[in-house]
Structure 1
Amino acid sequence: MATRDAEDLKIGEFVIDRNDERLYGPHGPVKLGNKAYCVLLALAERDGKLLTKDALFETVWDGMAVSESALTTTIRELRNALGDDSKTPTYVESVYGRGYRLLAPVENVPAGFRPDPMMSASAFENPAGNPPRVIVGRFKDEVVQQDHPFAADAIREEVLLGLSRFREIEVVAEQLDTIPPRDRHGRDYKLDATFLPDGEGVKIVARCKRLGDGRIVWAETVKLADTGMQMGVETIVRRIVGAALPALDQDLSLGLDQAGDTLFDRYLKAKRQSFEAHSAHDARQSMAKLEAIIDEQPSFALAYPPLVRLYNIDLGYNALGWSGPEQRQRALSLAKSGLAADRSHVHAYTVLGFCHLYNREFDQAEGCFDYAFERNPFNPSRLNEVAAGKVYLGDFDAAHRLIEQSKGIQPFADDPSHEDLGRLCLLEGDWDNADRNFRRIAIASIWSQLYAALCRLRFDKDEGADRMAAWKRRVHENWHRDERPGNERIFAWFEDHHPFKNGAGKVLIDAAQEAISEID
């Protein structure tokens, strides 16, 4: 690259300080990782001319072999820092298949020149509130660099790419070890890793900690085999990305009662209430809060999935039989609006997929599930959702593969995982394994309680009959109206919530129909 040490470069509202290798905006220094800074400088020194991808890899990455996703992630980080939009760019334009060019004019300015601050930085905070920020630090590889010179950089770039697919967080690539917290609610985290020798191979100690108080919320050691490098990288990225995010989400929920009243704070509280509701009243409260958020800001995509869930499944199964055609149509409309608000939000695709299932639109559902898996194979929750969708579509082999992939990311099964696998085994006629999975469930959902009762009827009719009777009492107690539903109504409700394609659920449907009609 050319150098002009006496001058800095002004690009629109920003200034590149080339001597200090920093970017300044109208509100002060802009946090930017080293690779993103180098890409911006390279674009600026081309002064509007096309800069090819090959040229960027040769200069910014010094010819190191990395995937093209590394450049994509860096461009995304750069655009976020500049407040740029990829669809209607002001600064960085993509030239399909070739490279990038800078759209804003570039001026030479005296060294030390700074943009005039328009107002204090606090005035520019997002009025909707800030999502959790995950800062990916440098992956330390000094002790293994001689034998594995590019492993740390390659894995870090892939981790950045994987994290960027989660819309619930803001990802920042950062080289600095100390970054001041952004807000008072403790939603800033640092993810880093250290590479250490492990026999002939390498082990990686990864951890995620709160930036404010340094508390470690997740840590794990994973191994990179000396052979099968690419397979090892993919496995490690899935483990780091897929395991760190649930731990972070759980940590966030601990401080919600002390959180503020921004739109994002209200969303987090309403979402938690929607999942933890134990009565129709609580569920309706959370529904009203989520509806209010969407009315206030229809582009707030995160609020749609938990709201759609309440409409689709009887207010979180707190008002059994409540979800009828009107509620399902409302859910479908909301799911489409949520996807339109953010087409990169992978959860929006699985949510829409289930809406299509409930409306028996199986081809549309399959397309949604396939796209969700393609876009984010790192999230165990999304993998389990896609697996459940594949079960209803009758693709049991795909469901098994997805469940195994999810277990590879998050090996400790929870109640929903046991329920999903148990239902799949039941549908395949493997009653023994189904029974074992249901017995491992600590807190039974409305469906796992039914499935377990059906299994026990195969092995111990008296115990199974007692369990079926208990399940029916639960249905009666939680029915959305005062009248007690009869067996035909209960079975119709059960079928409505089990939208199988082309008889894929025959084993379960037949067993449920027999048990519901014969046992009171």
Structure 2
Amino acid sequence: MLRFAGFELDQRREELRGADGTPIKLRPKTFEMLRLFATSGGRVLSKQELMEAVWPNVHVGEDSLFQCIRELRSALGDDRRQLIRLASGGGYLLTAEVEVEPEVTAGGEVAPLAQAVETRPPAPASGSMIQATSQRSIFGFSRRAMVAAVAGLGAIAGLAVAAPVLKPDLLFRRTPPRIAVMPIVDASSDSRGVVMAAEVTGRLVDGFAKIQNVSVVAPGSAAVAGVEPAGLPAASSDYEIRGELQHGDQSWTLRARMIKTTTGEVQAVAAASVAADEADAQLAQSRLAAGVGHVLARRLNEMLVPSAPSSSPRGSSAGGDKVALEQALASINQTTRERYGAAQSMLQNALTEDPDNVDLAVALASLQMRGIQMVWFSPEEAVAVEARANATLERALRSKPNSIPVLEAHCRFLSATNHFVKSLVTCAKALSFDPWNGSALYLIGLGQIFLGRFDDALATFRQADRYDTPPASRWTWLLGAGWANLLMGRDEEALPWLQRSIAITPATGRSHMLLAAAYQRSGRFEEARAAMAEGLRLRPGTTKLNVTPPWKNVSPVCLAASARIVQSMVDAGLPEQ
């Protein structure tokens, strides 16, 4: 937590609050710029430094920077430009003294700060221009020398990371594929369309800029989105993202496509819609961008990480394998016992005919990890399934280390086998190829829960809900948000999340049992017993002894909070034995 001039900058929740604790809305890029100012230790930040930090791998003009500065001054009430001041060299700095409140861990220890904030020099008494400080030295080396050294190391590391993911032709050119995100065309007849299209464009640019080993250029956009012409023609890109925004009586609809620039061939199409009466404009913009970005990012990953060739002699293998993979994906995301069994049989049959197919083997491993998480295997079966899945995923990671489905499956495996810290790392890598991946966010939130980081988990589940992609996984992060609220004792707040999750996927049983605990702790005892009865009907044989997953590597904080929830389930009618 950083405090300055009566404001609080909550880095964990990515939130700026005023003196009365009221959140102040900022766009993500504007918040990131304020974070840079607050952690700079009073140093003047040049325009180039700000643009490279806030828009990494994106070519934007200075108007993007100026808009963020204007938004910050407006949010901070800095009409006289005294808090964020212009330096003589053209850079900016935050003149207020920043106080750092260190994070306290569950054991009462002070966690090390991710970034130190230096003592801030006193601000000049008058004048709107501040002389930029001279070049600093770090451990005896000049700042320029340090930057050169870091740049050299970064170049070496970048080549090591890029080699597995890029196609040979792109690798030999030693340049990452360039994606041009063209301004979304406003094809609506609504007065809000221009602003909506510009904001969605900006969110798409931000998202694609997070993807590893691609370079993003925004050839032009409206000033509202904070994206300016880069001075580079779209023809200099390998692929273009183009889209149109339409407005109907019931919804806003965004249709987008990814086009290979040299041939004009459409590589992927995507569409997303949000309700026309959605009151939260930022939520609508986020979901439109995520809805198409998620589909296009996965298609881009498929093109850069091609599937391994099939060994099947059947001429129709590809079509059958595709059906099996699609069925498995649907069953992983929206699981019922019946669908799970059908998908498992389909994948096993496909693998019998094509035993060397990596994609099929990974899909089966991921599906079976869902079965372990749902406790649909006996302990003996689970051990054998884990061993086979581990061997499958190790082979897949060697051949396709940057494949989104492989990384997702590995993340699910690590989560299901209680390797939570490793699962966070693997899921983060999956997000580096698809920043809108709700399934990966759900698994990250799950790991945070078991590590006792309930606030982080709730924020992660909320982020997944803001993206809402893929929609088939929606029930998982809704369930996660309800669970996180319960663990923190926010029983009333847990209810709507759990109810929404059950409305989408009502057959899991465990969701009803969590709902029963929330009702019980809210004093709604009849509803608690009804919810527990439904949970037991769906999961017969569940007792206090087997209602929870294995507790290996689980934080004591999570263990204690979970024990209280289980006792509430018992009070609502869960058998003890």
- What is the TM-score when the length of structure 2 is the normalising length? 0.47
CA contact (8 A) 1:427 1:508 kept: yes
CA distance in 2, matches of 1:361, 1:281: 26
1:207 to 235, 240, 255: 255
The aligned residue for residue 496 of structure 1 is 550
The aligned residue for residue 519 of structure 2 is 456
The aligned residue for residue 68 of structure 1 is 57
CA, structure 1 residues 165+439, in 2 after alignment: closer, same or farther (shift >3 Å)?
farther
CA contact (8 A) 1:194 1:205 kept: yes
The aligned residue for residue 439 of structure 2 is 381
Confirm whether residue 419 of structure 1 aligns to residue 473 of structure 2: no
Secondary structure at 2:558's aligned position in 1?
coil
Secondary structure at 1:496's aligned position in 2?
coil
Residue 426 of structure 1 and its aligned partner are, at CA, apart by 0.7
Map Cα deviations across residues 439-490 of structure 1 (whole Å, 9 max, x no partner).
33312522211101222232244543443344234322xxxxxxxx584xx6
Map 1:463-502 → 2, pairs under 5 A: 463-476=527-540, 485=541, 487=543, 491-492=545-546, 494-496=548-550, 500-502=554-556
CA contact (8 A) 1:140 1:152 kept: no
Residue 159 of structure 1 and its aligned partner are, at CA, apart by 6.0
Letter of the 1:474 partner, please give it: L
Residue 288 of structure 1 and its aligned partner are, at CA, apart by 1.0
1:447 to 499, 507, 510: 510
Residue 424 of structure 1 and its aligned partner are, at CA, apart by 0.3
Secondary structure at 1:504's aligned position in 2?
helix
Letter of the 1:68 partner, please give it: N
CA distance in 1, matches of 2:58, 2:283: 17
CA, structure 1 residues 291+424, in 2 after alignment: closer, same or farther (shift >3 Å)?
farther
CA distance in 2, matches of 1:407, 1:315: 21
Residue 379 of structure 1 and its aligned partner are, at CA, apart by 2.3
Query: Higher mean Cα deviation, 151-160 or 418-427?
Result: 151-160
The aligned residue for residue 436 of structure 1 is 496
CA contact (8 A) 2:510 2:535 kept: no
CA contact (8 A) 1:287 1:307 kept: no
CA distance in 1, matches of 2:350, 2:552: 26
CA distance in 1, matches of 2:429, 2:318: 35
CA distance in 1, matches of 2:385, 2:269: 43
Matched-pair identity in %: 12
CA contact (8 A) 1:208 1:244 kept: yes
The aligned residue for residue 307 of structure 1 is 365
CA distance in 2, matches of 1:295, 1:456: 49
Confirm whether residue 288 of structure 1 aligns to residue 348 of structure 2: yes
CA distance in 1, matches of 2:270, 2:201: 23
Letter of the 1:297 partner, please give it: N
CA, structure 1 residues 455+155, in 2 after alignment: closer, same or farther (shift >3 Å)?
closer
Count of residues in correspondence between the two structures: 349
CA contact (8 A) 1:350 1:369 kept: yes
Secondary structure at 1:378's aligned position in 2?
coil
CA contact (8 A) 2:164 2:401 kept: no
CA, structure 1 residues 68+417, in 2 after alignment: closer, same or farther (shift >3 Å)?
closer
1:272 to 303, 307, 330: 330
Letter of the 2:459 partner, please give it: R
Confirm whether residue 192 of structure 1 aligns to residue 252 of structure 2: no
Residue 433 of structure 1 and its aligned partner are, at CA, apart by 1.3
CA contact (8 A) 2:415 2:423 kept: yes
CA distance in 1, matches of 2:180, 2:324: 24
Residue 405 of structure 1 and its aligned partner are, at CA, apart by 2.4
Residue 400 of structure 1 and its aligned partner are, at CA, apart by 2.5
Map Cα deviations across residues 299-345 of structure 1 (whole Å, 9 max, x no partner).
x3x75145323245249666676752222232333333333332223
The aligned residue for residue 396 of structure 2 is 338
Task: Name the Cα RMSD after superposition.
Answer: 5.5
Letter of the 1:511 partner, please give it: I
CA distance in 1, matches of 2:439, 2:241: 22
Structure 1: stretches of 5+ with no match in the other structure = 1-64, 72-83, 101-133, 167-173, 177-188, 197-203, 223-231, 250-258, 477-484
CA distance in 2, matches of 1:164, 1:509: 41
2:272 to 218, 227, 230: 218
CA contact (8 A) 2:203 2:286 kept: no
- What is the TM-score when the length of structure 1 is the normalising length? 0.51
Secondary structure at 1:495's aligned position in 2?
coil
CA distance in 1, matches of 2:241, 2:443: 28
Residue 398 of structure 1 and its aligned partner are, at CA, apart by 1.9
